[in-house]
Structure 1
Amino acid sequence: MAVTQIFVNLPVADVQASRAFYEAVGASVNPEFSDESSTSLALGETVFVQIMNHTRFTSFTKRPVATDGVEVINALGVGSREEVDRIADAALQAGGTESNDAQDLGWMYNRAFADLDGHHWEVAFLDEAAMAEAFAAEGA
């Protein structure tokens, strides 16, 4: 399988508030796929989030919207530790909540937050050279 893009669809209580949250984190809006019930957001060239009010969201599924607990963890890879901190700090300043402590394994650094509706996100930087060294040392 060769996936070229990912589209994450999320139910939200308030489309405009969620749009502002994701824009604060660094997402850009695609107005072509946005209206009062839904907003299309680009997190990068191949990663997109579609936030929808509950009515619009349930038009795509026969299952009810999950409202308790974590159904999925969305993880994003970025190019530096500083970018991890920038995104996580922006999420917290925009009203998100920290959903886990920062994790620093030397070769991997990540932080986690929940958006305004409790959707769980992790942002991680992987230093592949340091990771190879760490795993080689463990195998020695």
Structure 2
Amino acid sequence: MGRQAKHLYINLPVKHVKESKAFFEQLGFDFQEQLTNDQAACLVIGDTITVMLLTHKHFQTISEKQLVDARQGSEVIVSMRVDSRKEVDELVEQAMAAGGSPFKEKQDHGFMYGWSFQDLDGHLWEVFYLDEERSSLS
């Protein structure tokens, strides 16, 4: 087996950390408070996966490249695999209710089912269920 990371941190620029934190809390996610302040919020996606939501100013201390307005252009799509079709629907519906917007219509390929949304800053989030028994992808 090749190299494996111990933990994955995804860094995303956001306009307002407090509002972004509230958005993801409404979706049922937790934050690692030791790594959360007014400049950054550490969103816990899984045991070894976190998303650092960083103010534009703080993000620029990490990358000198020009920030992409995620509402105008694509930068990254964060994809999350969940345990059921129902969980896909629930999470995306919660995102819409919390102020997110739709990105793509539901996609049903039989063995895989997904739906996507945009967060408050336009970042793309894809939520999908994969039926391992019916898939050659697992």
Which whole-Å deviations, capped at 9, do the CAs of 1:90-135 have from their partners, x for residues lacking one? Answer: 1111000110010011100000000000000100100011224xx9
In 2, distance between residues paired with 1:26 and 1:48?
A: 14
- 1:107 matched to 2:111? The reply is yes
**4+ residue segments displaced more than 3 Å:** none
Partner of 1:59: 61
In 2, distance between residues paired with 1:76 and 1:4?
A: 18
Q: After superposition, where does 1:41-52 map in structure 2 within 5 Å?
A: 41-52=43-54
Alpha carbon RMSD of aligned pairs, Å? 1.3
- 1:20 matched to 2:22? The reply is yes
Is the Cα–Cα contact under 8 Å of residues 114 and 121 in structure 1 kept in the other structure? Answer: yes
SS in 2 for 1:17: helix
Partner of 1:86: 90
Aligned-residue identity in percent: 35
TM-score where L is the length of structure 2: 0.91
Runs (5+) with no aligned partner, structure 2 = none
Pair member with larger Rg: 1
SS in 1 for 2:62: coil
Which whole-Å deviations, capped at 9, do the CAs of 1:25-58 have from their partners, x for residues lacking one? Answer: 1210111001111111101212111111110110
TM-score where L is the length of structure 1: 0.90
SS in 2 for 1:121: strand
Runs (5+) with no aligned partner, structure 1 = 136-140
C-alpha spacing 1:31/1:7, structure 2 compared with 1 (3 Å): same
What is the aligned residue count? 133
- 1:98 matched to 2:102? The reply is yes
